[in-house]
A = this chain, B = another copy of it.
Amino acid sequence: MTNKKRFIAVIGGSQCSAEEAKLAEEVGHELARQDVILICGGLGGVMAAACKGASSQGGTTIGILPGDRRQSANPYVQIPIATNLGEARNVIVIKSAQAVIAIGGSYGTLSEIGHALRSDIPVIGLNTWSLSRNGQPDTSIIPAQNPAEAVRKALSLATK
Q: What is the total number of copies of this protein in its complex? A: 4
Partner of A118, one of B60, B87, B140, B160: B87
Residue A113 lies at the interface, judged by CB distance under 8 Å to chain B: yes
Contact B118 A111 (CB under 8 A): yes
> Which residue in B62, B83, B118 is a CB contact (below 8 Å) of A79?
B62
Q: In A14-65, which residues have CB < 8 Å from any B CB?
A: 37, 55, 60, 62, 64
Q: How far is the CA of A35 from the CA of B57 in the complex (A)?
A: 22
Looking at A1, A2, A83, which has the most chain B CB atoms within 10 Å of its CB?
A83
A8 interfacial contact with B, CB 8 Å:
no
CB-nearest residue of chain B relative to A130?
A: B132
Q: How many residues of A contact B (CB 8 A)?
A: 57
Q: How far is the CA of A126 from the CA of B134 in the complex (A)?
A: 9
Q: Does A148 contact B (CB under 8 A)?
A: no
Taking a contact as CB atoms under 8 Å apart, the answer to whether A85 and B86 are in contact is yes
Whether A111 and B115, one on each chain, are in contact in the complex, defined by CB atoms closer than 8 angstroms, is yes
Residue in B closest to A66 when the chains form the complex, CB atoms? B84
Q: Are A87 and B107 in contact (CB under 8 A)?
A: no
What 10 A-B pairs come out closest when comparing CB atoms?
A111-B114, A105-B133, A110-B114, A2-B78, A107-B118, A107-B117, A84-B86, A82-B95, A88-B88, A88-B91
